[in-house]
Amino acid sequence: MDYIAYFKFFVGLFAIINPVGLLPVFVGLTSHQNDAERRQTADVAHFAVVIILLVTLIAGEIILGMFDISIPAFRIAGGVLISIIALSMLQGKLGEVKSNKEENREFAAKESVAVVPLALPLMAGPGAISSVIVYSAQHPSLIDKLMMGVSVVAFGAVSWGLFRMAPYLYKLLGQTGINVITRIMGLIMLSIAIEIIAAGVKGLFPALAYTG
pLDDT in tens, the chain (212 residues): 678 889 989 999 999 898 988 888 788 778 778 888 888 999 999 999 999 999 999 988 788 788 888 878 887 888 888 788 778 778 766 544 444 545 555 544 444 688 887 898 789 987 888 889 888 888 888 999 999 999 999 999 999 999 998 878 777 878 788 778 778 877 887 887 888 888 889 888 887 766 55
Residue 78, Cβ neighbours under 10 Å: how many? Answer: 23
Q: What is the pLDDT of residue 31?
A: 73
CA 20-95-63 angle, to 5 degrees, is 90
Q: Where are the alpha helices (DSSP H) in the chain?
A: 3-17, 23-29, 35-66, 71-90, 96-99, 101-110, 126-138, 142-164, 166-204
Q: What is the pLDDT of residue 211?
A: 55
Cα distance between residue 140 and residue 197, in whole Å: 19
Cα distance between residue 31 and residue 44, in whole Å: 17
Contact call for residues 3 and 121 (beta carbons, < 8 A): no
Cα distance between residue 22 and residue 25, in whole Å: 5
Q: What is the pLDDT of residue 154?
A: 96
Contact call for residues 80 and 195 (beta carbons, < 8 A): no
Candidates 45, 48, 42, 56; CA nearest to 149 is 56
Contact call for residues 12 and 134 (beta carbons, < 8 A): no
Rg over alpha carbons for the chain, rounded to the nearest Å, is 18
Single-letter amino acid, residue 28: G
